[in-house]
Amino acid sequence: MSFSSRQTPHNPLLRAAAEAKLAQEPSPEVTQSSDELLHELQVHQIELEMQNEQLRMMQIVLDLSQARYQDLYDQAPVGYLMLNDQGVIQQSNVTAATLMGVNREELVNQPLHRFIFKEDQDSLYHLRRTLGKTLEPQSCELRMVCADGMPFPVLLTATVTRDAWHAQEFRFALSRITQPGASR
């Protein structure tokens, strides 16, 4: 059994490229009996180096893509919140925090009802309850409260999914409602 037959399957195009690269590099003098083994080892080393370079490039592309989607999430024209099944905010985008007049970090681990106008908390309760039962997207208009205590109207749209542990996870989009002709 030769060395090459004991290898794991490899990419034929990568192997051909590695062989071509090896042909361009000077080879040390070796005995006739070790030529084939040395050649296989050198080709395999070059294949691994080329695979490593491909992985580095893929990581760069993934990092850029992740940064793009993080920016899209953070700078979206609507506020986004992710809540656990207890109604506690797990994640927020910058827009949601700005709507509420707080830093994003101040929202995390806070119950959403804390930011809902007292008279509208029943609307939030019913929306979450219906959403949890039907698993269908739900919407309602209610008033939220800014950090300065001033209420403002929003359209709250929510969906539900399951997290990695199969617990319900609620996703909320917040859109500030403005009166016709009124400025934000």
Q: Is residue 2 scored above 50 in pLDDT?
A: no
pLDDT band at 162 (very low <50, low <70, confident <90, very high): confident
Tokens representing 74?
Answer: 């953070």
89 and 170 housed in the same domain: yes
Q: Is the pLDDT of residue 174 over 90?
A: yes
DSSP states of 22-63 as a string?
Answer: HHHS------GGGHHHHHHHHHHHHHHHHHHHHHHHHHHHHH
28: containing domain: 3-72
Do residues 67 and 84 both lie within one domain? no
Let me know whether 22 and 82 are in one domain: no
Candidates 148, 156, 154, 152; CA nearest to 83 is: 156
Q: Are residues 51 and 81 in the same domain?
A: no
Is 182 a member of any domain?
no
Cβ-based neighbours of 26, under 8 Å, separated by 6 or more: none
Domain boundary among 16, 51, 72: 72
Average pLDDT, the chain: 85
State the pLDDT at residue 118: 92
Domains identified in the chain, total number: 2
Distance CA 181, CA 137 (A): 30
pTM as predicted: 0.65
pLDDT at res. 168: 82
